[in-house]
Amino acid sequence: MRVMVFVKATEDSEKGLPPTEDMTAMFEAMGKFNEELVAAGVMVDGDGLKPSSAGKRIAFDGPSRAVIDGPFAETRELVAGYWVWEVKDMDEAVAWAKRCPNPMPGPSELEIRPFYEMADFGDAMTPELAEREQKLREKLGGE
Amino acid sequence: MSAAMLASRTIFADKAGMAADETHRAIEAVFRIERARLIAGLARVVRDVDRAEELAQDALIVALAEWPVRGVPGNPGAWLMAAAKRRAIDGIRHDAMRTRKHAEIARELDGESDMSAEALEAALDDPLGDELLGLIFAACHPVISPEARAALTLRLVGGLTALEIARAFLSNEAAIAARITRAKKAIATAGVAFEVPRGAELAGRLGSVLEVVYLIFNEGYAATAGPSLVRPPLCAEAQRLGRILAGLMPEEPEVLGLLALMEIQASRLAARAGPDGRFVPLTEQKRARWDQLLIRRGLNLLARVEALGGADGPYALQAALAACHARARTAADTDWTQIAGLYDRLGQVMPSPVVELNRAVAHSMAFGPEAGLRLVDAIADAAALRNYAPLPAARGDFLLRAGRYAEAKAQFEAAAGLSANERERDFLLARAAVCAGSSGG
């Protein structure tokens, strides 16, 4: 299964701090962890994101679209980086996540979210439903 | 005792049970991550895959007893290895006590000492780092049949059970278990070392490893039997093996080439079967459903292959072909001239009638139906293509596009007669009918 692992933002990550000695050590540990993920065939993708001050939001309400400039207030809900991992199950994802060095100077959090897969729909996904879904995708401008 | 108290006690018991269950699952997940490396390190010194698997399993049992009490150690891999090592040494001491007399006689006869507990300990402490790769090379040794290599690799490296492998290959558990046992025996009999071969031997042995990984992938991608057209979990297993190999051998162009090929092909898994489960050919697939993440990985890998000077390897060329389709936003955007050129090169490094046939199709798309006909006529007598429906089907397509309807109709009918697949047959007969309509007869 494929999971996305979010590195949640902290006040420090939102400040976009210049590299300190602590951070150099963390980067080194993170580099080693990433190498382990690659060697185990788990790593599919991953990167870090700039603080939300560099970001924008587009708010939808009916036909209207409002653009909101960052930074955004609710730090704990923001994302500072992500991985995409291919693992057998959530247990394996959790086991890998526990091995991750703390990505932040203070307390921080990772969040693991599995991707939807066709198999998740099981028998509920009849051929008719699948076709309807595909037609919907096409209507939504899939192609 | 009141009902409420009873209920709360039951809930408490359930909670404790659930917590224990969760701890067990967490420990097993850690073990699964370490298992292949553990077996690899142990196999190298005890020179027996079965024993290595047993020792690894013993270490798990010790962990299940100790970790819930003391917590998961900081370096679980090293901890499990130490536990397995203690078991191995105990085993050797035990055997030595029992058969000291025999061992002494054997030593005198052989003139060389048996592996002592101390030597074993030293060997286990030796951090070579390429144990896992050595295990993969041993499991994929050419003394074993490709199917048995695939089963053994999935067992030892992928950590799948015989039942899981049997399900994936639509076989039964007993047959797969027997296959794995025979493969282990063959390795032991041949005295295969659990090491990465060096020098001239490496190329041949690496070919054997890549063949196994691609066999597993293809079994998932173009399921040879069974109700579903594709079996994505088997593809995922092969991709994981490919990614492990690429991580361990980042300078081997064909390792990266195979991974690039698998990533790009797997990007089409969701688009390959239609809503009714029917096969959807490449040109008709909904490209919005292609997995762009996998395509990007494939293209990046291919760029590295080219930088390493390996663009002409058979896997690299097949990956480059897959990449041509991946890069085209629509089927009409496909760069057939480039594809024809790649098939020319593939035909040289990996000559085969099937490659030639694909080459003819590519040339017909790039340079017109006459070019395709010329190439397909050159291979018309190849024994491998006798009774091969795609050959007359391709020729029929070229003739139809060239406006030679009567000849095209005969080719489509011949192809339909050779096809074992009902849907394919209907498709070919429909094309024959188009020819009949176009020629006015």
Give the ipTM of the model, two decimals please.
0.78
For chain B, the straight-line distance linking the first and the last C-alpha, in angstroms and rounded, comes to 93
B125 in any annotated domain: no
Two structure tokens written together for A51: 């603080």
**CB–CB of B33 and A96 under 8 A?**
yes
Contacts of A142 in chain B (CB under 8 A): 286, 288-289
Burial class (CB in 10 A: 0-12, 13-18, 19+), B217: buried
Domain residues for the domain of B369 are 335-386
Say whether B413 sits in a helix, a strand or coil: helix
Of B236, B239, B276, the CB nearest to A127: B276
- Sequence-distant (6+) residues with CB within 8 A of B19 are none
Same domain for B393 and B382 = no
A49 pLDDT tier (thresholds 50, 70, 90) = very high
Among residues B78, B100, B122, which one ends one of the domains? B100
Instruction: State the pLDDT at residue B398.
Output: 96
Tell me the C-alpha distance between B288 and A143, whole Å. Answer: 5
Angle between helices B49-70 and B173-190 (to 10 degrees): 110
Query: What is the helix (H) or strand (E) element at residue B228, kind and residue range?
Result: none
Mutant choice from A2, A47, A99 vs B, greatest count of B C-beta within 10 A: A99
Give me the residues of chain B with pLDDT under 70, please.
1-18, 96-129, 223-230, 277, 439-441
Two structure tokens written together for A68: 């909101």
B163: contact with A, CB 8 A cutoff: no
Instruction: State the pLDDT at residue B223.
Output: 60
B257 in any annotated domain: no
Averaged pLDDT for residues A81-94: 95
Please report, for the domain that includes residue A27, its CATH number.
3.30.70.1060
Tell me the C-alpha distance between B350 and B413, whole Å. Answer: 31
Tell me the C-alpha distance between A87 and A64, whole Å. Answer: 40
- Sequence-distant (6+) residues with CB within 8 A of A53 are A14, A16, A70, A71
Domain residues for the domain of A52 are 2-139
B137 in any annotated domain: no
Of B33, B277, B293, the CB nearest to A40: B33
B289: contact with A, CB 8 A cutoff: yes
Instruction: State the pLDDT at residue B112.
Output: 44
Mutant choice from A86, A91, A138 vs B, greatest count of B C-beta within 10 A: A91
Paired sense of beta strands A79-86 and A2-8, if any? antiparallel
Neighbour count for residue B21 (Cβ, 10 Å): 10
Whether the CB-CB separation of B153 and B212 falls below 8 Å is answered with yes
Among residues B53, B73, B100, which one ends one of the domains? B100
Number of domains in chain B: 3
- Give B53-73 as a DSSP string: HHHHHHHHHHHHHHHHHH---
**CB–CB of B275 and A95 under 8 A?**
no
Neighbour count for residue B370 (Cβ, 10 Å): 12
Classify the C-alpha dihedral B160-B163-B167-B172 as positive or negative: positive
**CB–CB of B33 and A130 under 8 A?**
no
- Sequence-distant (6+) residues with CB within 8 A of B335 are B324, B327, B328
* % of chain A at pLDDT higher than 90: 61
Instruction: State the pLDDT at residue B265.
Output: 95
Number of domains in chain A: 1
B351 in any annotated domain: yes
In the 8-state DSSP scheme, what is residue A59?
A: E
Residue A7 has pLDDT above 50, yes or no: yes
Same domain for B347 and B423 = no
**CB–CB of B293 and A84 under 8 A?**
yes
Tell me the C-alpha distance between B128 and A19, whole Å. Answer: 34
User: Closest-CA residue in chain B for A142?
Assistant: B288
B229 in any annotated domain: no
- Give B181-196 as a DSSP string: HHHHHHHHHHT--SS-
Tell me the C-alpha distance between A81 and B251, whole Å. Answer: 28
Contacts of B263 in chain A (CB under 8 A): none
**CB–CB of A88 and B244 under 8 A?**
no
Say whether A82 sits in a helix, a strand or coil: strand
B382 in any annotated domain: yes
Instruction: State the pLDDT at residue B331.
Output: 92
Highest mean pLDDT among A24-33, A112-121, B365-374: B365-374
Tell me the C-alpha distance between A96 and A74, whole Å. Answer: 27
Instruction: State the pLDDT at residue B131.
Output: 87
Tell me the C-alpha distance between B165 and B162, whole Å. Answer: 5
Whether the CB-CB separation of B362 and B351 falls below 8 Å is answered with no
Query: What is the helix (H) or strand (E) element at residue A45, kind and residue range?
Result: strand A43-48
Same domain for B377 and B429 = no
Same domain for B96 and B64 = yes
Classify the C-alpha dihedral A38-B30-B291-B210 as positive or negative: positive
B249: contact with A, CB 8 A cutoff: no
Same domain for B399 and B428 = yes
**CB–CB of A143 and B287 under 8 A?**
yes
Paired sense of beta strands A2-8 and A110-114, if any? antiparallel
Q: How far B205 CA lies from chain A's nearest CA (Å)?
A: 20
Neighbour count for residue B95 (Cβ, 10 Å): 13
Instruction: State the pLDDT at residue B441.
Output: 46
Angle between helices B353-367 and B369-378 (to 10 degrees): 160
What is the total residue count of chain B?
441
Tell me the C-alpha distance between A117 and B104, whole Å. Answer: 61
**CB–CB of B286 and A142 under 8 A?**
yes
Instruction: State the pLDDT at residue A138.
Output: 58
Highest mean pLDDT among A116-125, A132-141, B23-32: B23-32
Tell me the C-alpha distance between B294 and B271, whole Å. Answer: 14
Residue A97 has pLDDT above 90, yes or no: yes
| E strand residue ranges, B177-291 | none
B143 in any annotated domain: no
- Sequence-distant (6+) residues with CB within 8 A of B414 are B392, B396
Highest mean pLDDT among A18-27, A67-76, B123-132, B318-327: B318-327
Contacts of B242 in chain A (CB under 8 A): 41
Instruction: State the pLDDT at residue A9.
Output: 94
The amino acid at residue B380 is A
B33: contact with A, CB 8 A cutoff: yes
User: Closest-CA residue in chain A for B240?
Assistant: A41
B369 in any annotated domain: yes
Burial class (CB in 10 A: 0-12, 13-18, 19+), A21: exposed
Q: Which of A3, A39, A92 is nearest to B132 (CA)?
A: A39
Contacts of A86 in chain B (CB under 8 A): 236, 239-240, 243
Q: Which of A95, A4, A100 is nearest to B23 (CA)?
A: A95
Contacts of B293 in chain A (CB under 8 A): 44-45, 84
Of A45, A86, A118, the CB nearest to B240: A86
Instruction: State the pLDDT at residue B282.
Output: 86
Interface residues on A facing B, Cβ-Cβ cutoff 8 A: 35, 38-45, 84, 86, 88-89, 91-92, 94-96, 98, 118, 127-128, 130-131, 134, 137-138, 142-143
